[in-house]
């Protein structure tokens, strides 16, 4: 029994009827240290971290006859929250700290790409299927360093809030990547955790 009612699809309707009794959406990480890499050629330390790919429209299910992928988030108003810790403890080393983010998305994600017609099969009439479209970068790198440094009344922790593309009616597949840079030295000992709800 269990979840069958959430996947009823009478007569193959597209999309199928709205799911019912879906639990509250929640995804989170444990607290993690920023994983600084050795200095690059420019003398800067760098680190990056990405969320998983979120399926922000799981109610569409496999309506395009594609495999379902991504972490389902059923609440269209969900936000990604990233809390950064130890900003006071690392204060002496944050002068050259930079934080940027960029977004990745795909409107359908699992749709099949195509290439030239298959020459191995004479007059097949069907193009080659060359794989699934991944989420791809859809924004430039956006500097949010000013959100970390709040002046004379600096708190030890701050919270960054990210809203998906779509202005309240989100794109289906979405991912956020954080890009940390520390100019001229290894980075400070800061940590963070993330949650989506």
Question: What pLDDT score does 11 carry?
Answer: 54
Q: Which residues of 34-46 are buried (b: 16+ CB within 10 A; e: fewer)?
A: bebeeeeeeebbb
Question: What pLDDT score does 18 carry?
Answer: 64
Tens-binned pLDDT, residue by residue, of the chain (197 aa): 455 666 565 555 555 566 677 777 899 999 999 999 988 888 899 999 999 999 998 887 766 566 667 899 999 899 999 999 999 876 656 778 999 999 999 988 755 444 444 445 555 454 545 556 678 999 999 999 999 888 778 899 999 999 999 887 899 999 999 999 999 888 889 999 999 99
Question: What pLDDT score does 43 carry?
Answer: 87
Q: Report CA-CA distances (Å) from 94 to 47, 54, 185.
A: 15, 31, 11
Find the angle CA(47)-CA(82)-CA(196) to the nearest 5 degrees.
120
Question: What pLDDT score does 118 carry?
Answer: 47
Question: What pLDDT score does 39 carry?
Answer: 82
């Amino acid at each position: 029994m269990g979840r069958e009612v959430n996947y009823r699809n009478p007569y193959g309707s597209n999309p199928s009827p709205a799911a019912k009794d879906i639990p509250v959406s929640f995804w989170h990480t444990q607290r993690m240290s920023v994983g600084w890499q050795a200095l690059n050629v420019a003398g800067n330390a760098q680190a990056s971290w990405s969320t998983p790919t979120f399926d922000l429209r799981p109610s569409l299910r496999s309506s395009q006859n594609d495999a379902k992928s991504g972490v389902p988030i059923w609440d269209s108003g969900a936000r990604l929250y990233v809390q950064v810790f130890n900003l006071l403890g690392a204060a002496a080393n944050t002068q050259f700290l930079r934080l940027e983010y960029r977004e990745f998305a795909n409107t359908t994600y699992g749709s099949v790409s195509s290439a030239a017609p298959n020459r191995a099969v004479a007059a097949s009439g069907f193009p080659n299927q060359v794989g699934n479209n991944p989420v791809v970068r859809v924004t430039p790198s956006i500097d949010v360093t000013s959100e970390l440094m709040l002046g004379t009344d600096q708190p030890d922790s701050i919270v960054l809030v990210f809203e998906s593309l779509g202005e309240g009616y989100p794109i289906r597949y979405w991912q956020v990547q954080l890009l940390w840079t520390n100019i001229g030295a290894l980075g400070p000992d800061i940590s963070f955790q993330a949650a989506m709800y």
